[in-house]
Amino acid sequence: MESTISKDNSGWWDGSIGYEIYIRSFVDSNGDGVGDLPGVTEKLEYLSWLGIDLVWITPFYPSPMADFGYDVSDYCGVDPIFGGLEDFDRLIEEAHRYDLRVIIDLVPNHSSSEHPWFLSSRSSVDDGYRGYYHWRDPAPSGGPPNNWVSHFGGSAWTLDEESEQYYLHLFLPEQPDLNWNNPKVIQEFDEILKYWLDRDIDGFRIDVAQGLVKNMLMPDNPTRFPITEDMSPRQVFAAFDHRYDLDQGGNLEIFRRWRKLVKPYDALLLGEVYLRDNDPNRVSRYVNSGDALHRAFYFAPMHVPWDPQSMWDTFRDALDAAPEDLSWALSSHDDPRAPTRFGEGREGKQRSLAYSTFLFFLPGLPFIYQGDELGLPSIEIQREDLADPVATRNADETDGRDGARSPIPWEKAHELGFTTGTPWIPMGDRTHEDTAEHQRITEGSWLKSYKELIRIRGEYLDPNTSLRWTSSRDSGVLAYRRGDTISALNVDTDDSFILLPEGEWEIVFQVGVVTVEFNEVTFGVNSAAILTLIIE
């Protein structure tokens, strides 16, 4: 079966490799222990050397930092902890000099509770900004207006005692949800997008893209299974069918509006479409019309276990639903790093590189999370060092994201070159062997391997070619062909093999033990390969 490549959402991003910068933990240029914009500028040469095309920077806006920048108090500024607008402008100018594109995080689902809009809305029930947010009377029996819960634990409603009304927040109480049924909110964000586009950015990564519009009747969400006291916030959130607070049809109308707005700037709209059931058909709605988002992150690959059936179900279903327009990530700042998910130690690192070999040749837009290229696992965080509000504000700390957010080790120096001061969060047990400095000059390092994989992708992959599976669903090897290239990944517990199509094929990149004999390729455990057709 061959997927069909549509060009409705194509642009300069076709064939690109993206790189996520979690700015707090990338590079600190001034010794205060927090990564910043000048630090990013300092490492643009490194990203260019690695072969990156597109950089996504997490929020740097003014913020009280209740959720480390995802609680924005000014959408058109830079928080002093990260630098100033002049630092931002210099970063964009330098990135473009290196032929790197830059997209920035847009946080439209909610603002900070310290944003002037919310402060004004809270001042009076008659205030002109009251309708920028979701304010509701208590339920007839008292308490929150409905049973909606926060991603981060507890009710999604907080009572304002002065006005005796509740306001909605699907995340922290310090992150009140904006009312996207209000035309004034829509107009405000039109101006915000234009402000940054006029500063020469190349697009937006849209936070919580599935959550903007709510059902204004706000009925209770149905429950999927009983909630117990020992559940973590993630488990409680998953216990509900989010029929009325997420994935509402009105979201697409917003993105269609933005699509027209960004078109003259040739800018990318990349949505974080994080749906708990990971239904690819629901995610695909955000891209399939060809006039909304250009790409949508698909998160199932960051949660799939290392076994053939799970992998087949994840990727066959996703590529059937959206053959070209998904974005793939190995890790992110919200989830455990891939080497930790895949078993720790060398096995976890090898599996991560093998998995990347599979992901990077899929149709769509793959992203590296900073440190993936160094083979970094998550770190262990002591209770007294926890910073993530998901961990510090809940009795159950298991959903905490700190372990994936530790600073990047750059060189043999104080705090491995991240800062001359004290890091905002511990470096963990990183060593000089983990640093970019060491791996950049060490043959066979994870960094050198990722650089070579990216080079091979650029040399051999034609992004305009469709995908055709070359192994069957009962195989332990997932293999697909795109043009004259085959990518294959063995997730079986033993050696496995595939038969090659007609012609003479050559291995141009491999992870683990992979051998070719005539038209048969044998894969050792945790292995992967890229093969190219040299003679038809």
**Which residues pair with residue 487 across a beta bridge?**
480, 530
> 503: phi > 0 → left, psi -120 to 50 → alpha, else beta; which?
left
Looking up tokens 């079986």 gives 492
Rounded Cα distance, 458 and 481, in Å: 16
Rounded Cα distance, 534 and 371, in Å: 34
3-state secondary structure 7-49: CCCCCCCCCCCEEEECHHHCCCCCCCCCCCHHHHHHCHHHHHH
The helix/strand/coil state of 254 is helix
Quick count: other Cβ atoms within 10 Å of Cβ 199?
A: 13
Catalytic residue, from 79, 105, 207, 325: name it.
207
Give first-to-last CA distance, the chain, whole Å. Answer: 21
**What's the Cα-to-Cα distance from 292 to each of 256, 315, 316, 341, rounded to whole Å?**
4, 23, 24, 33
Answer for the pair 325, 9: CB distance below 8 angstroms, yes or no.
yes
Catalytic residue, from 67, 79, 177, 272: name it.
272
207 part of the active site? yes
Quick count: other Cβ atoms within 10 Å of Cβ 63?
A: 25
Answer for the pair 428, 379: CB distance below 8 angstroms, yes or no.
yes
Quick count: other Cβ atoms within 10 Å of Cβ 534?
A: 11
Quick count: other Cβ atoms within 10 Å of Cβ 45?
A: 11
> 69: phi > 0 → left, psi -120 to 50 → alpha, else beta; which?
left
Q: Residue 19 corresponds to which tokens in the numbers above?
A: 């790189």
DSSP letter, residue 300? G
The helix/strand/coil state of 77 is coil
Rounded Cα distance, 306 and 295, in Å: 26
Rounded Cα distance, 286 and 350, in Å: 33
Task: Provide φ and ψ at 318, rounded to 5°.
Answer: -65, -45
Looking up tokens 């630098």 gives 83
Sequence-distant (≥ 6) Cβ neighbours of residue 13 within 8 angstroms: 53, 54, 101, 203, 268, 294, 295, 365
CA dihedral sign of residues 191, 107, 302, 99: positive
CA dihedral sign of residues 4, 278, 478, 354: positive
Answer for the pair 245, 148: CB distance below 8 angstroms, yes or no.
yes
Quick count: other Cβ atoms within 10 Å of Cβ 64?
A: 15
Catalytic residue numbers read: 207, 272
